Amino acid sequence: MSVKRSEDVTATAIILFFGSGFLIALGIFVVWMNLRQKSHSFGILFVLAWIYAVPAAWGSINGLGIMRLRRWARGSTLAMSALAACFFGFIVIGFLTEPFLVGRDPEFAHLGLVFGGLGLLSSIPLGIAIWWLVLFTRPRVKRQFEAAPAESEDP
C-alpha cells in the first residue's frame, strides 16, 4: 500500500534540509572567523564545528526519514522540535528581557533595539519548532507514518 505524503510533511523535510544547510554554512563561517583571529586552540575550533555539524546532520537525516515516512523520523523530529522549542524559548525570553535588565543607562540605550530584533528573529525557529510539535502529533500525520511500509521493504 502506497501512502501519499502530505504537503505540510513535505514542507517540514524541505525546511529541515534548508535549515541544515544554513547551519553548515554558519558553522563554516564561525570557524573561519575564529581561524582568522588565530587566538583559539584547535580543540575550541573542533568543538565549534561540532556544535553546528551535529544538529545539521540530525536535521538532514530527519529530513530524509520524513521524505520516506519513517516512523523513527517522526519521533526524532518530535524530540528535536521539543529541544529547539526549549532552547529558542529561553533565547527569545533572554533577548526580550535584556533591555529591561540593563536599565536606562545611556551607554546601553542602543542595545534595546538590537536585543528586541534578535528576540524577534529568534522567534522564527521557535515558531517552526512549535508548528512541528503540533503537526507531528496530529492524528492524520500519525496515520501517514503508521501506514508507510516498513524499513525492510526498501529496494
pLDDT digits 0-9 by tens, 103-146: 667 777 777 778 888 888 999 999 999 999 999 999 999 999 98
**Which residue is listed with cell 536606562?**
104
Q: At residue 33, does pLDDT exceed 50? A: yes
pLDDT digits 0-9 by tens, 63-114: 999 999 999 999 999 999 999 999 999 999 988 888 777 766 777 777 777 8
Chain-centre distance of CA 104, in angstroms?
Answer: 34
76-111 burial: b if 16+ Cβ within 10 Å, else e: bbbebbeebbeebeebbeebbebbeeeeeeeeeeee
pTM, two decimals, is 0.81
Question: Where do the domains of the chain lie?
Answer: 7-67, 69-155
